[in-house]
Amino acid sequence: MELLKRIFSVHIHGTRILIYVLGIKIKLRNYRKELKKLKKRVNELDYANQCRIAKILPVTSIKKIEIHITDHCNLKCKGCHHFAPLVSQSFRDLEEFERDLTRLCALTKGKVDTFNILGGEPLLHPQCIEFLETARRIFPKSHIKLVTNGILLPEQTDSFYERCAESNILLQPTKYGVEVDWEAVEEKCRKFGVDFEFYATNNVMWKDPIDLTGSQRAEYSFLNCQLGWHEVFYLDHGKLYPCSKTAYLKFFSDYFKKDIKVPETDCIDIYKVKDAQEIYDFMTRPPQFCAYCVKKKTLPYYPWELSKKDITEWVDTDTLA
């Protein structure tokens, strides 16, 4: 908690309440105006400090929701943060997806900035385009992106690209160390008027180690985490999670037969909350699972390669028995 006190403090002066975040002052008397100014200043900081400060600012909206429509993948990247190499096959049900988004729309009044439809590899799902169209129908004003490794994009029919254009879907692939005819893909996108941009092109990965003993300082891990980005949620079977680890750790635990479970308090059931404010408040609390994340040993850049399904791709080796 000492770390939290150093970057965040509250001072009461008569009828005024002042909040300081790394020396930046918010007057609660002009709460929304000052918060807007603060967020603008935060955006001018380096990425790591943006992450730290954003974690303790009040949440006023949902910026992004990421949803798996498959949990397995056709690429299996080493150390995948979604544990896709450890999943044999898993497809999301379209009716459940529609039901969950309809509930979210009611809670947020349709105000979610961005949906990332991904996996695993989403194009492995035979109904991928139907998921995209369903998301667009329920959230007509949101940005909807298909996040993919791109391997299957050249195989998609003209109808797929036409329907992406009709639903205003952004195709957002990542360039990995595999051969993909990107020129052909981009030509299809131009032909049918589909928005296209690369999610990443640097062909590197980074390791965010798991402490199998759960002995880390949860507050420190929470403030220094770049996986659980503020105002971003992971939707999985009617529950919202603050990061990909908490949402999909079950695949890691099952594969390696580890008795590590995410506490129920580290997710929020969209069918049990009364309004969006309960979701916003949930995001400002450090999850208990943060005690399993070793932020002092995050290894941000190593060359991309295929997974060998070795536990050391995900864990801090010092905690292995």
Mapped to the 3 state alphabet, what secondary structure does 106-133 carry? HHHCCCEEEEEEECCCHHHCCCHHHHHH
- Do 235 and 126 reside in the same domain of the chain? yes
In angstroms, the CA 166 to CA 154 distance is 19
Question: What's the rounded mean pLDDT across residues 216-224?
Answer: 85
Question: What's the rounded mean pLDDT across residues 314-319?
Answer: 89
| Residue-level pLDDT at 15 | 45
Mean pLDDT, the chain, rounded, equals 87
**Distance linking the first and last C-alpha atoms of the chain:** 29
Judge whether 94 lies within some domain: yes
| Residue-level pLDDT at 103 | 98
Judge whether 55 lies within some domain: no
Residue closest to 249 by CA, chosen among 199, 279, 208, 220: 208
Looking at per-residue confidence, does 227 or 290 come out higher? 290
| Residue-level pLDDT at 69 | 98
- Do 137 and 259 reside in the same domain of the chain? yes
Question: What's the rounded mean pLDDT across residues 127-150?
Answer: 98
Domain that includes residue 213, residue range: 63-319
Judge whether 257 lies within some domain: yes
In angstroms, the CA 246 to CA 151 distance is 27
Confidence bin at 1 (pLDDT 50/70/90): very low
In angstroms, the CA 311 to CA 6 distance is 36
Judge whether 52 lies within some domain: no
Looking at per-residue confidence, does 33 or 306 come out higher? 306
Residue 289 has pLDDT above 90, yes or no: yes
- Do 120 and 18 reside in the same domain of the chain? no
- Do 79 and 39 reside in the same domain of the chain? no
| Residue-level pLDDT at 12 | 47
Beta carbons of 245 and 267 less than 8 angstroms apart:
no
What count of residues does the chain have?
321
| Residue-level pLDDT at 18 | 56
DSSP-assigned letters across all residues of 180-204: --HHHHHHHHHHHT-EE--SB-S-E
In angstroms, the CA 252 to CA 315 distance is 10
| Whole-number CA gyration radius for the chain | 20
Give the percent of the chain with pLDDT over 70: 80
Type of residue at 198: F
Q: Among 157-171, 220-234, 280-294, which range has the highest average pLDDT?
A: 157-171
* Non-local CB neighbours of 285 within 8 Å, separated by 6+ positions: none
Q: How many CB atoms lie within 10 A of CB 277?
A: 12
- Do 72 and 221 reside in the same domain of the chain? yes
What sign does the CA torsion over 248, 249, 250, 254 have? positive
Judge whether 58 lies within some domain: no
- Do 109 and 228 reside in the same domain of the chain? yes
Residue 106 has pLDDT above 80, yes or no: yes
Judge whether 162 lies within some domain: yes
Judge whether 296 lies within some domain: yes
From residue 305, alpha-carbon distances to 17, 88, 198, 257 in Å are 51, 19, 19, 24
In angstroms, the CA 184 to CA 190 distance is 10
Confidence bin at 47 (pLDDT 50/70/90): low
- Do 274 and 227 reside in the same domain of the chain? yes
- Do 15 and 136 reside in the same domain of the chain? no
Q: How many CB atoms lie within 10 A of CB 146?
A: 25
| Residue-level pLDDT at 60 | 79
Residue 34 has pLDDT above 90, yes or no: no
- Do 25 and 131 reside in the same domain of the chain? no
Of the given ranges (55-59, 60-64, 99-103), which has the lowest mean pLDDT?
A: 55-59
Question: What's the rounded mean pLDDT across residues 247-255?
Answer: 97
* Phi and psi at residue 132, to the nearest 5°: -65, -45
- Do 226 and 197 reside in the same domain of the chain? yes
Judge whether 184 lies within some domain: yes
In angstroms, the CA 115 to CA 189 distance is 20
Looking at per-residue confidence, does 15 or 43 come out higher? 43
CATH number at residue 204: 3.20.20
Type of residue at 160: F
- Do 309 and 248 reside in the same domain of the chain? yes
- Do 153 and 119 reside in the same domain of the chain? yes
Residue 297 has pLDDT above 90, yes or no: no
Instruction: Specify the number of domains making up the chain.
Output: 2
